[in-house]
Every structure is written in C-alpha cells, then in structure tokens.
C-alpha cells in the first residue's frame, strides 16, 4: 500500500481569506477606537469643569459669595487666584484639560457675567457668536460675586459640552 504524503500548511487562498477578514475588522474597529478617544477626552474635560464648579460652590458656602471676576486671572490657559487655589482646587492650568486643541485654546479662561437689564437677579452669559470662548473650559463670574458658571467647550470652541447652568 502506498501512502501519499501530504504537506502541512495553508494554501494561498486560505491566507488571503484571513488577510481580507483582518482588513475588514480593522476598517471597522479603528474608526471606533479613534472616536472613543475623542469622546473620552471630552468627558474628561466635562468632569474637570464639574470639579471647578464644585470648588466655586464650596468657596461660596465658606465666604457667602463667589470669587469676583477680578479675583481670578487667566494667563495662557492658567488661572491664578490666591483665595481659590490651592485651598478649593489644586490647580487650573493647561495640563488639566485633555482635548486636542491649539495651544492657545488649552486650559482655562475667565470671563464676566453681566446682569440682565430687566431682571438684575438673572445673569447673561455672552453668546458664542458675540464673545467667543478663549479656552476649552471657561469660568464666568459676576462682578459682585453673586453668580458663577462654568462651561466646557468642544475642540473647535463651537459647542458647549457641559454647562453648570443646567
């Protein structure tokens, strides 16, 4: 009896089928992975904005008012305040924000809230179109310390991801 010796291995057709399947899976998985990274960075900035608002609220409980807009200075994405930092929050600088944005838009910015002309107990935050935000996380404070709002913006500073006003 003669036995035919069979070579062990894969045919070219089998190898090509596996490569095609791996290529299809990669084409599906890579965009999902990239978008999940962007979402994670956005959510990290929203969480940071929320922490800033909590720190401002703790300050307000201790002192009876929020810090005035003049008590916080923002320079190149870093906020300085002898009364707020480091007692209520450790730091507010560019390294804290996570989204991929131009260097001048990283970090934190400070802007003023203006009282509504008809109802002085209501405050108006400037619209994105009239006063563009300068940083991914903006702290809005009234001049008299009666109100504060924090907003997290997307990478293009076009849309509000989170606002403490809600």
pLDDT value, residue 23: 92
What residues make up the domain containing 54?
Answer: 12-163
pLDDT tens digits, 37-95? 888 899 999 999 999 999 999 999 999 999 988 888 888 888 988 888 888 898 888 88
Q: Would you say residue 35 lies in a domain?
A: yes
Average confidence score pLDDT of the chain: 85
pTM of the model: 0.76
The pLDDT-based confidence of 111 (bands split at 50, 70, 90) is: confident
pLDDT at 156 over 90: no
Q: How many domains is the chain built from? A: 1
Q: Would you say residue 124 lies in a domain?
A: yes
Token pair, residue 17, equals 């089928």
Q: What residues does 124 pair with on adjacent strands? A: 114
pLDDT at 1 over 80: no
pLDDT at 120 over 80: no
Q: Which residue has the higher pLDDT, 27 or 132?
A: 27
Q: Would you say residue 2 lies in a domain?
A: no
Q: Would you say residue 41 lies in a domain?
A: yes
pLDDT value, residue 128: 66
Q: Would you say residue 3 lies in a domain?
A: no
Q: Would you say residue 86 lies in a domain?
A: yes
3-state secondary structure the chain: CCCCCCCCCCCHHHHHHHHHHHHHHHHHHHHHHHHHHHHHHHHHHHHHHHHHHHHHHHHHHHHCCCCCHHHCEEECCEEECCCCCCCCCCCCCHHHCCCCCCHHHCCEEEEEEEECCCCCCCEECCCCCCCCCCCCEEEEEECCCCCEEEEEECCCCCCEEEECCC
Give the position of tokens 């890579």.
30
Q: Would you say residue 72 lies in a domain?
A: yes
Percent of the chain having pLDDT more than 90?
26
User: Residue 151 and residue 98: Cα distance in Å, rounded?
Assistant: 15
Q: Would you say residue 6 lies in a domain?
A: no
Token pair, residue 66, equals 């929020």
């Amino acid at each position: 009896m003669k036995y035919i010796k069979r070579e062990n291995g894969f045919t070219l057709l089998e190898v090509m089928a596996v490569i095609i399947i791996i290529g299809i899976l990669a084409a599906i998985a890579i965009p999902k992975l990239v978008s999940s990274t962007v979402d994670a960075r956005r959510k990290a900035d929203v969480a940071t904005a929320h922490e800033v608002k909590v720190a401002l609220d703790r300050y307000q409980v201790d002192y009876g008012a929020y810090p005035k807009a003049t008590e916080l200075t923002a320079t190149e994405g870093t906020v300085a305040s002898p009364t707020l930092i480091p007692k209520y929050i450790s730091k507010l600088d560019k390294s804290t924000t996570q989204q991929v944005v131009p260097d001048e838009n990283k970090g934190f910015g400070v802007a003023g809230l203006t009282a509504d002309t008809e109802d002085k107990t209501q405050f108006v935050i400037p619209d994105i179109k009239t006063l563009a935000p300068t940083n991914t996380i903006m702290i809005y404070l009234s001049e008299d310390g009666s109100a504060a709002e924090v907003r997290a913006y997307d990478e293009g500073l076009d849309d509000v991801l989170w606002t403490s006003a809600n």
